[in-house]
Amino acid sequence: MTAIVTVRVQQEDFDTAREIAALSRGRTDVGAVVTFSGICRGSDHNAPLAALTLEHYPGMAEAEITRHAEQAMARWPLAGLTVIHRYGRITPGENIVLVVTASSHRQAAFEAAEFLMDYLKTNAPFWKREETEDGTSWVEAKSHDDAAAARWKA
């Protein structure tokens, strides 16, 4: 069967169950589907968070995510994958990102999902600004995210 690769950068919300079904429906070669959903928290560092605003570089963001999706497809025996990343103002409880990987076996699906999320957290061309009662501030890169991504370098 043909592998399905879907990459979308969008402002509107997504339906996780619908995306899983779209990737796995009718696929007898899929034995494992792994999902990661990133959701906006209501606080960070014990301060209430009103919203996150995510900005991206249109065109470049899609191209870079697609490039990493193709790397995942080449590295693991996947039947397909979906990456959806939102931009714009996102409030607590709303979806931010979705990664779905499908494979015959769970290990490939888990590893590919981790690889894609580690890339999205460290190198995808998105910028995140937090909005609190004290104002807004840009979110800095975190060293533990860089360390997680470093394990995938060949």
Domain 28-139: what homologous superfamily?
Molybdopterin biosynthesis MoaE subunit (3.90.1170.40)
Closest-CA residue to 123 (of 73, 68, 85):
68
Tens-place pLDDT, residues 51-96: 999 999 899 999 999 999 999 999 999 999 999 999 999 999 999 9
CA separation for the pair 33, 39 (Å, rounded): 19
Q: What is the pTM of this model?
A: 0.90
Confidence of residue 14 (pLDDT cuts 50, 70, 90): very high
Percent of the chain with pLDDT over 90: 70
Tens-place pLDDT, residues 106-133: 999 999 999 999 999 888 889 999 998 8
Helix axes 143-150, 106-122, angle to 10 degrees: 140
